[in-house]
Amino acid sequence: MTNTPDRPAPGRARHGRVVCPGCRARVDAQRWRDDLRVCPECGRHDRLPARERLDLLADPGSVRLLPPVTVREDVLEFTDTVPYPRRLAAARERTGLHDAVLCARIDVEGRPAVCAVMDFRFLGGSLGAAAGEAVVRAAETALAERAPLLLVTASGGLRMQEGPIALAQTARTSAAMGRLDEAGVLTVSLVTDPTYGGVAASFATLADVIVAEPGARLGLAGRRVVERAAARRLPEDFQTAGFLLARGLVDMVVPRRALRRELGRLLALNPPGPAPVPAPGPAGVPASERGPGREGDRDGLLRDPDALPPLDPWEQVLAARSADRPGVPDYLALAFDDFQELRGDRAGGDCPAVLAGTARLAGRPVAVIGHRGRGAGAGPGAPGHATPSPAGHRKAARVMRLAAKLGLPVVTLVDTPGDHPGPQAEEHGQAGAIAENLRLMAALPVPVVTAVVGQGGGAAALGIAVADRTLALSGAVYSVISPEDCAAILWHDPAAAPRAAAVLGLDAPSLLRLGVVDGVVPEPEGGAAADPALTADRLRAALTAALAELAGLSGDDLVSRRRARLRHFGTPVPPPRPPGLPADPAHGHVSVSQVARDPGGQPWTTVPPTDPTGRDERPR
């Protein structure tokens, strides 16, 4: 698991100039240092010593080194061309380091963190007992101080001279990362060139967010090993940062000069303690329990279907599909602040149809997930943009789990005609990916608020829409199937789509009557396209108020209420109690908080307060 990098050695000064190992350009040595060892000709990011890396990432004067660790060395009494102790001594003299990892407390953009930096100069950054112990102690320090852990990796793999002791470090460091997951402490990995072998197969890829420098390589086996096994040449960009980003294996690629700023934004997600709680709404009462016709003082929602202007459902479908209508990218820019996209499902795929990441809503950090169905950066009809793939659903799930870990509310914005219909999506488990999301969202121990802002098409929409509160813009539609497909199935005529739209209950007034949504955000006269900024303002106010209503609820209460909401949605009456359940009145019959009626007048209960049968299956 130890790999020898194939790339040329770092640039070296000759006669006051440095020769770039990538393009062979001769660069003035002072300029080379001023440019942070980034070639001005080709942009190649050369390796940085650990201390220089700390100074680059940390605010000036904020580096406080942790003491070096002491472990038993040379347990195998290993000798290759020279005894292992002599190799260690030479590396220490050459680098000034005790081993391949240097740890420190630092501040990044004013935010405290514990940082462990690998130095490739020390025996190729190989992972042995001392380096593993340093990473574990850094993780334990982060855990004790509830400070985020920042890992900077540069390694050829495991240290062969330590044999199975080196191999065990992958398990040790992975277990330490798991403890931080359980405690809700943020972890961020910065992958630099190269990161291979046991480091790649442990803490480098276990972080909540993985950032890579341009050109950095990451993999279990090195390029030559893979080419030998494949008996063919691999693409020039194989295993590089751009290659990894396109395949969903890293979240972002950040140039060296921008690292401190971007890492500071990420580290701000770490909860310093209990999450800040905005002012709650009236006793945390759900919008749907305030009674029809009553609008919130602050949220501007419509809750009376008759208060909405009558529109032909088919016309509303066409309007919701309009290329002029603002989409999720627009609302992320107008209603949220500081959106930071996180890429990939970490399983080899990324889906441009799903936008996911973190942002601030009214000053509060949230996880936000939406469909790139239209709007800035996604032209109408752009291939693969409107319809989520399995990788998109799994990316959404990954960000939801991160939100659960860090205690971030989840906001989802729905705008998709449906799932990707191609055979590849089926081969990659599209149905199972959606099902996993439905189960996950039902158990998230954080507030979840959904807004349908355009089209809400079938299971693809629901895959990010299991929520404590569901809202819709007045021009949005939400349907089990497209009107065309419904007409083709039931009337054998896609041209009967207007007839299908009229009976599918997909428009905003119908969604309110059925209790599918808790409130409708009124769009400006002429629709959302007439004034996207005003629409975004109203959406932001509604989302903020919905989160405030939920702010005082514990994770247990949120899960219990959400499961109860799902358990009784659409059922005519509360079901009989299963035998053996306790008779505690608090867990007895479900009170009906909102009653909607079907066309035949049958009452449907939609928002009971508790679920006595709910098991604790929340993500940890």
Q: Is 117 within 8 Å of 54 (Cβ atoms)?
A: yes
Q: Is 445 within 8 Å of 556 (Cβ atoms)?
A: yes
pLDDT at residue 468 is higher than 50: yes
pLDDT band at 385 (very low <50, low <70, confident <90, very high): very low
Q: Is the dihedral of CA 581, 585, 589, 595 positive or negative?
A: negative
Residues 6+ apart with CB under 8 A from 105: 62, 63, 64, 66, 112, 113, 114, 115, 141, 147
Evaluate whether 48-267 and 288-550 have a shared fold.
yes
What pLDDT does 577 receive? 55
Residue 20 has which token pair? Answer: 């770039």
Looking at per-residue pLDDT, the higher value among 586 and 595 belongs to: 586
- Global confidence as pTM: 0.82
Average pLDDT over residues 507-529: 94
Residue 486 assigned to a binding site: no
> Of the segments 25-29, 220-224, 517-521, which one has the largest average pLDDT value?
517-521
Residues 6+ apart with CB under 8 A from 472: 451, 452, 453, 456, 478, 508, 511, 517, 519, 520, 521
**CA distance between the termini of the chain:** 31
Picking from 118, 136, 115, 134, the residue whose alpha carbon sits closest to that of residue 126 is 118
Average pLDDT over residues 61-74: 94
Residue 42 assigned to a binding site: yes
pLDDT at residue 161 is higher than 70: yes
Rounded CA gap, 582 and 568, in Å?
Answer: 19
Fold observed for domain 288-550 = 2-enoyl-CoA Hydratase; Chain A, domain 1 (3.90.226)
Bridge partners, 151 (sequence order): 116, 189
List pLDDT tens digits, range 405-416.
999 999 999 999
Task: Identify the CATH class of 48-267.
Answer: alpha beta
What pLDDT does 519 receive? 96
List pLDDT tens digits, range 24-47.
888 888 887 877 888 887 888 889
Looking at per-residue pLDDT, the higher value among 291 and 176 belongs to: 176
Residue 39 assigned to a binding site: yes
Q: Is 99 within 8 Å of 68 (Cβ atoms)?
A: yes
Average pLDDT over residues 595-617: 36
What pLDDT does 593 receive? 29
What pLDDT does 3 receive? 52
List pLDDT tens digits, range 329-355.
999 999 999 999 999 999 889 999 999
Residue 115 assigned to a binding site: no
Domain range annotation of the chain:
48-267, 288-550
In the block, which residue shows the tokens 């752009």? 382
